[in-house]
Structure formats: structure tokens, C-alpha cells
């Protein structure tokens, strides 16, 4: 008599091997997904930092005067929106500053409650002031922080130098 099926032992062994292989594939998938998502999270919050630096640089490049205040936590600068150097009455004084862990933009320091938060979770890079000025160059240095319960904690240091063209 010829049996054409599998024995119970063969089926149990095959099923066990399938479970082990499926477990390895699933574990690999989860680890890969976690790494990808963590990288995506890191890229996203670094992009926010780069966009903020770009916005700050755009305004500071056109400044006609800049002063660092509050131990490097604030930069106050003048701009000439109408491009009339001989007329000082149309100049505008703006400010970027660190408030707690937020970078705030104040487009006109003479008007109250017009501030906007540009970036959250910003910290000074150890003992380095947020804003530094040397001649017509302003250097901005900070680190940003992001914490996610699933993907962990991410820190990213950011720095840029801005040459003010109108000084």
C-alpha cells in the first residue's frame, strides 16, 4: 500500500519552519520600518530647522544695521523696505529672539503682539550664543530636539553664517 500524503510529523516540522521564517521576515520588516520612520522623522525636523535658518538669513541679509542683545539670545535689525537709504523714516526695526525653547520673529518691534513662533524645541549649543556678530557677519548656532515615544529622541545641531549686504 502506497501513501501519497505527508505524515503528521512532516507537517508539524514544515509548519514550525514556516513559523520561524515568517517570524524572521516580520521582525526584519518591523526593524526596517522603525529605522525608515526614524530617519523620516529626523529629516522632517531637520528640514524645519533649515527652513527657519533660510527665513532668518533672507531678512538679515538685507539689514542695514544689526545689534546682538540679551547675551546672544536676540538680534535686532533695521531694514529699509522701500530701498531709500536717504529716508530713515521708512526703516523698520525687527527682531529674532529665543523665548524659552522657541525662536520668535517680531517683524516690527514698535507694534506689540505681532510676534510669530518660527521654530520650537530650540536649545543653545552648550555655551555658544544663539546669535553672534562680527562686522557684517552674523552667525546663528543652535540645536533642535525632537522626541517620539515610538522612534526615540533626535537632536540636530544647526549653524549658518549670514553676510549682511547693506552694512
Q: pLDDT (tens digit, 9 = 90+) per residue, 86-140?
A: 676 778 899 999 999 999 999 999 899 999 999 999 999 888 999 999 999 999 9
Residue 72 included in any domain: yes
- Say if residue 152's pLDDT is above 80: no
Q: Is-contact 76 109, C-beta < 8 A? A: yes
Residue 12 DSSP SS3: helix
Looking at the structure of the chain, the number of domains it has is 1
In a domain, 3, yes or no: no
pLDDT number for residue 133: 95
What are the CA-CA distances from residue 73 to residues 104, 128, 133 (Å)?
Answer: 11, 10, 12
User: Do the domain assignments include residue 36?
Assistant: yes
CA 114, distance to chain mean position in Å, is 23
In a domain, 1, yes or no: no
Q: Which residues contact 93 (CB under 8 A, 6 or more apart)?
A: 76, 77, 78, 108, 109, 110
Range of the structural domain that residue 28 is part of: 8-163
What is d(CA 130, CA 97) in angstroms, rounded to the nearest whole number?
9
Cβ pair 105, 119 in contact under 8 A: no
Q: What is residue 1's predicted lDDT score, i.e. its pLDDT?
A: 55
- Angle at CA of residue 65, ends 116 and 114, nearest 5°: 20
Q: Does 138 fall in a domain? A: yes
Cα 131 to Cα 68: distance, rounded to the nearest angstrom: 7
Question: Lowest-pLDDT range, 16-20, 39-43, 78-82, 96-100?
Answer: 39-43
Q: Is residue 108 one of the residues assigned to a domain?
A: yes
Amino acid at each position: 500500500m502506497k501513501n501519497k500524503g505527508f505524515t503528521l510529523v512532516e507537517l508539524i516540522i514544515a509548519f514550525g519552519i514556516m513559523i520561524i521564517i515568517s517570524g524572521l521576515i516580520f521582525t526584519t520588516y518591523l526593524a526596517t520600518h522603525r529605522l525608515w520612520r526614524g530617519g523620516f522623522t529626523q529629516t522632517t525636523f531637520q528640514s524645519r530647522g533649515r527652513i527657519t535658518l533660510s527665513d532668518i538669513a533672507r531678512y538679515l541679509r538685507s539689514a542695514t544695521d544689526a545689534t546682538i542683545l540679551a547675551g546672544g539670545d536676540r538680534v535686532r535689525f533695521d531694514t529699509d523696505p522701500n530701498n531709500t537709504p536717504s529716508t530713515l523714516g521708512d526703516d523698520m526695526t525687527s527682531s529674532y529672539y529665543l523665548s524659552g525653547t522657541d525662536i520668535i520673529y517680531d517683524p516690527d518691534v514698535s507694534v506689540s503682539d505681532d510676534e510669530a513662533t518660527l521654530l520650537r524645541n530650540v536649545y543653545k549649543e552648550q555655551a555658544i550664543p544663539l546669535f553672534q556678530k562680527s562686522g557684517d557677519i552674523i552667525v546663528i548656532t543652535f540645536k533642535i530636539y525632537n522626541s517620539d515615544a515610538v522612534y526615540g529622541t533626535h537632536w540636530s545641531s544647526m549653524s549658518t553664517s549670514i553676510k549682511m549686504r547693506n552694512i
